[in-house]
Every structure is written in structure tokens, then in C-alpha cells.
Structure 1
Amino acid sequence: MSNRHRKKRPSPLPALWLMTDERVEATALLAAAGRLPKGRAGIVFRHYRTAPAARRALFDALRVIARRRRLVLLLAGDARLAAAWRADGVHGDAGRVSRALIFSRAVHDRQQAVAARGADLCFVSPLFPTRSHVGVGALGRLRFAALAHRIDAPVMALGGVKAEHRHMLAGIGADGWAAIDGLTR
């Protein structure tokens, strides 16, 4: 079956996601997580360049908020570490290691869209110009829609997305949205 005729799998996963970024102070990040709607949002914890002890401490603080508010919490990177840290899933390129963990992928181009087969959800970016990836060309609505159409999992729009964009997202193939600045400022 061609990608054009493939239906996306239905998903019980949230349509709103907070992506973490080292540019955002921990207090602002924790506050943003505390404002996410109970039971209807998720967090992708990245903080790749943070020292290991500080990274773990911040993850644990976010996990407390996530459990209290019934949020989905994914750890970017290694699936074994995500399981050890009691995350709900893993975000990355390594592929699915365990059916017990939610598996998400980042998609920036056609090759990554093809490689995303089997993911539970995909973050397609950057839809618009973004401060977290200065100088990276935005996909824009047409290229975003073309990528989203190739993915059989739920697609979250990422990159310069704000709450006021949510009404146009379904029209370009997004099932939800994710943000850094759009949720922490």
C-alpha cells in the first residue's frame, strides 16, 4: 500500500507536548510542566548537554509533576536508560527496543519519515523558524504536509508552534503540537 493511502493509527497519546531545552531555566521548565493540562499532555525530556547528575535531578523533578498531573514523560536517548529512569517511553533514533515503552521519533526530512515506520508518534520539525535551531530552514506548511502524509503514526508539529497555530494544524496533517518557547514563555 502506498503512503498516500495509508491511514494513521489511532493514538491514545496526548496532542500537546512540552519539549525540554537547555536554553530554558529549570524553574521555568518546571512551571511550564505544572501548567500542562492534566491527563492530556506529554513531556519529551532532552537536555543532552546537561551534566549527568543535574540531568537526572531535573528529570526526577519533572517525573514528580508528570505523575501528579497524569502526563506522559519520554526520555530522549537510550531506551534502557528510559526504562531505568521509569520514563513512559523513549524519544530517539535507535528504534523500538521494548513494546512496554512508547517510542517517538524526530522527523526533519523524507528519509527520516521513512525511517520512522513503527514509531508510536513523530515530531515533525521545524514547521516555522525557531530559536532552538537558528539558521535551520523551516519546512513551511506545504513541505510539512508532504512529510506528515508519509508517516503512519500520529504527527506532532514542532518548531515555532504556538497555541494560536493549533487550529490550522489538522489541515496540514498534524495530530497535535509540541513546543519549547510556545509553552515556557
Structure 2
Amino acid sequence: MPKIWLLSDARNDAALEQTLRRLPRGSGFVYRHYHLDPVRRQARFGRLAAIARGRGHVVALSAPARQARAWGADAIYGAPGRIAGAEGLLRLATAHSMRELAAARRSGADAVFVSPVFATASHPGARSLGPVQALLLARRAGCPAILLGGMDASRFRAFRRVEHVHGWAAIDGLSAA
């Protein structure tokens, strides 16, 4: 399971090729790109997945399992209810609360993205978990916990030796300038 995950978004689209190439080998890439129509979304996925695979990255798609398989993704990313039944794919669940964490465990999640740890540009004004609540969720995850939301390498340093935290993920915090 990768320790560093890059998530795609309209905000970081222009820098994705460069960012994927400079991530450490064996990182993870979650392709979201909800802003594109289906045809353009699949074409962009194909281009970015090729770069990611060339660097040995795990490629996840935020979509139904059938679509993730058809597009050749290694993993599926989303709310616990969306990843259930995704056999043959790594299942990456999002968890924003204890209730969602329990659902992620029931869905057979291979990893849980605990978020938002800090304030994030993806959800301006939304309440964040804060480090204490995020660590509580990570401790109870029962699988690798990936911290997401306002994360960057500097912020992760404070968590890197915490037993229950496997890694971190970001949009802006990893995107090339």
C-alpha cells in the first residue's frame, strides 16, 4: 500500500503530468476529475494512468467498480457504499466520521482515507477533524489509514511515527508549482 497518494482535481490538472513524474516511485494516484464529461474524463485518465504506471504508481479511479475495471484501474476510491463488492480491485474508502469508518470496515476496505484532517481548499469553510480526531479514526481503522485534507509533507512529519498512520494524501500539497 503506497504511503503517499496524489488526488486529481480541476485545480491541479495542469500540473498532474509533472507531479506524477516527480512523486517517489510506488506512490498512489487517485483520479477523480469529476469536472470532465465522460469521454474527456476517460481519455485524460488513460494519459495520466500511463505516466503513473511508468513510475510504478498504484492507479485508483473514483467511479463504480465496473468502470474502474473497464478502464484498467488498480483500485477503486470512494465512500464505503461505493467500494463494496469491488473484488479484484484495491478498495480505498473515505471516512469522515466513526460511522463512515465502521461502514468502511464492513465494506472490506483495504485502506481508509481519513479526512479532512485540516482545513482544505476542496471544501472551504467545512469543519475539519483536527489531528486528535483524525488519529482516533486512524487507530480504529483496522487497515492502513491515509491522512487527507490540508496535508503536505511538512504536516505529515508530525504523524509519520504514529503507529496507526500509514501515509498521507493531498491535492494541492503534492501538486507541482
TM superposition score normalised by structure 1: 0.87
Question: What's the counterpart of residue 175 of structure 1?
Answer: 166
Deviations 1:31-51 (A, max 9, x none): 111111112x00010112311
Please give the residue correspondences for 1:96-107 in structure 2 after superposition, counting only pairs within 5 Å.
96-107=84-95
Q: Distance in 1 between matches of 2:168 and 2:162?
A: 13
Q: Distance in 1 between matches of 2:94 and 2:117?
A: 12
Deviations 1:77-97 (A, max 9, x none): 200000000000111232332
Question: What's the counterpart of residue 71 of structure 2?
Answer: 85
**2:11 matched to 1:20?**
no
CA RMSD of aligned residues (A): 1.4
Q: Distance in 2 between matches of 1:95 and 1:179?
A: 20
Partner AA of 2:72 in structure 1: R
Query: Is 1:142–1:172's contact at 8 Å kept on the other side of the alignment?
Result: no
Partner AA of 1:35 in structure 2: R
Query: Is 1:124–1:156's contact at 8 Å kept on the other side of the alignment?
Result: yes
Query: Is 1:46–1:76's contact at 8 Å kept on the other side of the alignment?
Result: yes
Query: Is 2:76–2:83's contact at 8 Å kept on the other side of the alignment?
Result: no
**2:38 matched to 1:52?**
yes
Return 5+ residue gaps in structure 2 as ranges: none
**2:117 matched to 1:127?**
yes
Displacement, 1:138? 1.2
Question: What's the counterpart of residue 62 of structure 1?
Answer: 48
Return 5+ residue gaps in structure 1 as ranges: 1-12
Q: Distance in 1 between matches of 2:120 and 2:86?
A: 32
SS of the counterpart of 2:72? coil
Q: 4+ residue stretches of structure 1 with deviation over 6 A?
A: none
Question: What's the counterpart of residue 114 of structure 1?
Answer: 102
Q: Distance in 1 between matches of 2:101 and 2:154?
A: 26
Q: Distance in 2 between matches of 1:124 and 1:21?
A: 18
Displacement, 1:149? 1.7
Aligned length: 171
Question: What's the counterpart of residue 157 of structure 1?
Answer: 147
